[in-house]
Chains A and B, each alone.
Chain A
Amino acid sequence: MNHSISLTVNGARRDFVLDDPRVTLLDLLRERLHLTGTKKGCDRGQCGACTILVDGKRINSCLALAISHDGADILTIEGVARGDQLHPVQAAFIAHDGFQCGFCTPGQIMSAIGMMREAQAGNDPERIRECMSGNLCRCGAYAGIVDAVLEAQAGMDESNQRRSA
Chain B
Amino acid sequence: MKSFDYVRPATVAEAVAAAAQPGAVYLAAGTNLLDLMKGGVSRPDRLVDVTHLDGLDAIETLADGSLRIGALVSNADLAHDANFAKSYPAVAEALLSGASAQLRNAATVGGNLLQRTRCAYFYDTASRCNKREAGTGCDARDGENRSHAVLGWSENCIATHPSDFCVPLVALDAVVEIEGRSGRREIALDELHRLPGNTPERDSALDPGDLIVAVRLPPAARVFSTHARYLKVRERTSYAFAVVSAAAALRIENGKVAEARVALGGVAAKPWRARPAEDVLRGVAPTADAFQEAAWRALADAKPSGDNAFKIELARRIVVRALLLAAAGTPARLPALPASPFASTSGAIHA
Binding site for B on A (CB under 8 A): 1, 3, 20-22, 24, 43-45, 48, 51, 57-60, 62-65, 67-68, 70, 111, 114-115, 118, 120, 124, 126-127, 129-135
Contact = CB atoms under 8 A, between A and B. Distances in A.
A85 to B, nearest CB: 27
A62 B106 CA distance: 12
Given A45-B102, A135-B100, 4 more contacts: A22-B3, A124-B336, A130-B336, A133-B237
A111 B101 contact: yes
A45 B99 CA distance: 10
A126 B38 contact: no
Given A126-B347, A127-B346, A51 B30 contact: no
A20 B349 CA distance: 47
Interface string B316-351: 000000000000000000001110000100111110
Given A58-B105, A111-B101, A130-B238, A44 B49 contact: no
* Interface class of chain A by DSSP: mixed
B4 A133 contact: no
A62 B49 CA distance: 17
Q: Kindly name the residue among B38, B47, B102, B349 whose own CB sees the greatest number of chain A CB atoms within 10 A.
A: B102
B23 to A, nearest CB: 15
A60 B49 CA distance: 18
19 contacts: A1-B5, A21-B4, A21-B6, A59-B106, A60-B106, A63-B30, A63-B34, A63-B35, A67-B49, A111-B102, A118-B76, A118-B80, A118-B101, A124-B347, A126-B337, A126-B348, A126-B349, A130-B238, A134-B103
Interface in B41-61: 47, 49, 51-52
Contacts of B10: none
B1 interface: yes
B239 interface: yes
Nearest to B37: A22
Given A44-B38, A64-B106, A115 B30 contact: no
Given A51-B102, A134-B102, A134-B103, A65 B27 contact: yes
Contacts of B204: none
B31 interface: yes
A114 B337 CA distance: 19
A58 B1 CA distance: 25
Contacts of B3: 20, 22
B346 A134 contact: no
Contacts of B238: 129-130, 133
Contacts of A134: 99-103, 239
B234 to A, nearest CB: 11
A115 B100 CA distance: 11
Contacts of B1: 22
Contacts of B38: 43-44
Interface string B215-249: 00000000000000000000001110000000000
Contacts of A68: 27, 30, 49, 51
B346 A65 contact: no
Nearest to A44: B35
Nearest to B348: A126
Contacts of A20: 3
B30 to A, nearest CB: 6
Contacts of A120: 80
Contacts of A24: 34
**Chain B CB within 10 Å, residue with most, of A58, A111, A131, A132:** A58
B6 A45 contact: no
Nearest to A51: B102
A106 B350 CA distance: 24
Contacts of B27: 65, 68
A152 to B, nearest CB: 16
Nearest to A67: B6
Nearest to B4: A21
A145 B223 CA distance: 41
Contact of A133 (B5, B6, B49, B239): B239
Contact of A48 (B102, B237, B346): B102
Leading 9 A-B pairs by shortest Cβ distance: A134-B100, A133-B238, A21-B6, A126-B336, A133-B239, A57-B105, A59-B106, A134-B102, A127-B336
Given A130-B337, A134-B102, A60 B31 contact: yes
Contacts of B4: 21-22
Contacts of A114: 101-102, 105
Given A68-B51, A130-B238, A133-B239, A45 B35 contact: yes
Contacts of A1: 5
Contacts of A70: 52
Interface string B86-107: 0000000000000111110110
